[in-house]
Amino acid sequence: MAERLGEQEVARLRVRAEVDYLPVVALLVREMGRRLGLSQRAVFELEHAVDEAATNIVQHAFEPDERGEYTVRLLRRPGRVVVALEDQGIPFDLDKFRQGEGTGLGRRFLEAYADQWNLSYLGPQGKRLEIVKHLPHTDARDHYRPEELDDLRQAEPAPPDEPLALRLMQPQDAVALARCVYRTYGYSYTSEYIYYPERTREMLASGEMTSCVAVNPAGEIVGHIALIRHHPQAKVAESGQALVDPRYRGRGLFKKGKLFLVEQARRMGLYGLFSESVTIHPYTQKGNLSLGARETGLLLGYAPQQLRFKRLAGGRQTQRQTVVLYYLPVNPAPRRTAWLPPRHAGMIQRLWRHCGLERRAQRPEQPPAAPHTHLEVKVRPEWGHAFIAVEQAGAELVEQVRAQLEDLCIQGLRCIYLDLPLALAPAAARCAELEELGFFFAGLLPEMHPSGDVLRLQYLHDLRLDLDQVVLVSELGRELMAYIRERM
């Protein structure tokens, strides 16, 4: 597992895989959860989720006559407490999975008690489950009286000549940012931590988030855009959380803020920035294109339906929102060799040229598989979607992905994404087999993996979308939509 920005390990316990020692694990989680600031209810939920996961390890991860062990790690990340359980027991058992036995997931407890969870399957190197709980920080509404919140909703447009300043956001700005988010989105914004100033402060302090804010003469934050990095070695960052106070729309704040962050990213040595633009209106798409960002794909139904835009035409949604993927080059990316799935070779090469990337394409015929399949699964229940990332492709790749897909569908997740690094020949060669499971083309993510580019596939579970409602402003965006429609 890659190191996370701002992560601190606060406790580690190596314990024998026996029922008698489960109370010791529960005691560690209970006491450390309290000391790290979780509420009584959150401690209760975390303890029960961990107990279920540890019990599954004890009962199913080792042979009856085997003296197994597993590790429990308590981690503190910005705004969250994480318990990671790691074992090197029996590799993931597909037959037991299909029978609902011994998956080690404790799925019902995760659904009920975890705010987020991440899974890693590493063949004989073991398994890792991360259970995440958010810290109970103060909601931004607690900083204002009810009449002040009413004022936020009813404020008139600001004078068009009012001067505004752009600068890097500081931790002490977190409350003002939450106020700006409320004015822009109400309480529908899906990156919910942004409403909790303490969490935002920690993300800024750790370097996980770098933000540009626009400030008016009264010191209010009236615009914001952020770069999010997920680990210290990341060579690309996600550009997101772009918002403009409704009183200040029409002044080009999105473009100015993103140019400000492009310069920051250039100094940081990043290759490029990713971003996602909603398709219920054309404005952020036009803003990205005006900056030189290049379309690389479409994620159908990616964003929850409840996201609303105050005072913006077309702001009501009747379905989950599709987003356009963009890549904005910042510094020259290295030359790469990539293995191309034959059925998507033409489109991938088209996107490489569009992004100005130097790539040497190869088409694998029968590349040797790795000894085992390594997968990482990240579940975002508040967004209703999950990601399966292939880190190593063994002979059982398709069956492992099929099992994970079945489980994620049982959990009710609507959109499931599968990421295939194009540096892995065995993964690229089996793209067609994976698409037979119901996955189809989503897009290209340049430099998303340490080895280079990633091909993203998508799967829609029990989700009907009217794609004619999707607003696309560019010729390539419409070409991508046509390409995806044909392959759904």
Contact between residue 273 and residue 308 where contact means Cβ atoms under 8 Å apart = no
H or E, element range at 203: helix 197-206
- Angle between helices 40-60 and 22-35 in degrees, nearest 10: 150
CATH fold of 140-329 reads Aminopeptidase (3.40.630)
- Nearest to residue 132, comparing CAs of 117, 111, 112, 110? 117
The CB-side HSE value for 122 (13 A sphere, CA atoms) comes to: 12
The Cα 172–Cα 421 span in angstroms is: 39
Sign of the Cα torsion 122, 69, 71, 136 reads positive
The Cα 472–Cα 485 span in angstroms is: 14
The Cα 55–Cα 48 span in angstroms is: 10
- Nearest to residue 203, comparing CAs of 76, 77, 96, 291? 77
| Total Cβ atoms within 10 A of residue 23 | 10
CATH fold of 8-136+373-439 reads Heat Shock Protein 90 (3.30.565)
Q: Domain locations in the chain? A: 8-136+373-439, 140-329
Beta bridge partners of 214: 166, 223
Per-position pLDDT tens, the chain of length 488: 556 777 899 999 999 999 999 999 999 999 999 999 899 999 999 999 999 889 988 988 888 888 899 999 999 988 889 999 999 887 665 555 555 554 445 566 677 788 888 888 877 778 899 999 988 755 555 555 655 555 655 668 888 889 999 999 998 898 888 888 877 776 555 555 666 788 888 888 888 899 999 999 999 999 999 999 888 788 999 998 888 888 898 898 989 999 999 999 999 999 999 999 888 888 889 988 999 999 999 999 998 876 554 444 445 567 889 999 999 999 999 999 999 999 999 999 999 999 999 999 987 666 677 788 899 999 888 788 999 999 989 888 999 999 899 989 988 889 999 999 999 998 998 999 999 999 999 999 999 998 899 999 999 999 888 888 899 999 999 999 999 999 98
Q: Which residues of 391-427 are buried (b: 16+ CB within 10 A; e: fewer)?
A: bbbbebbeebbbbbbebbbebebbbbbbbbbbbbbbb
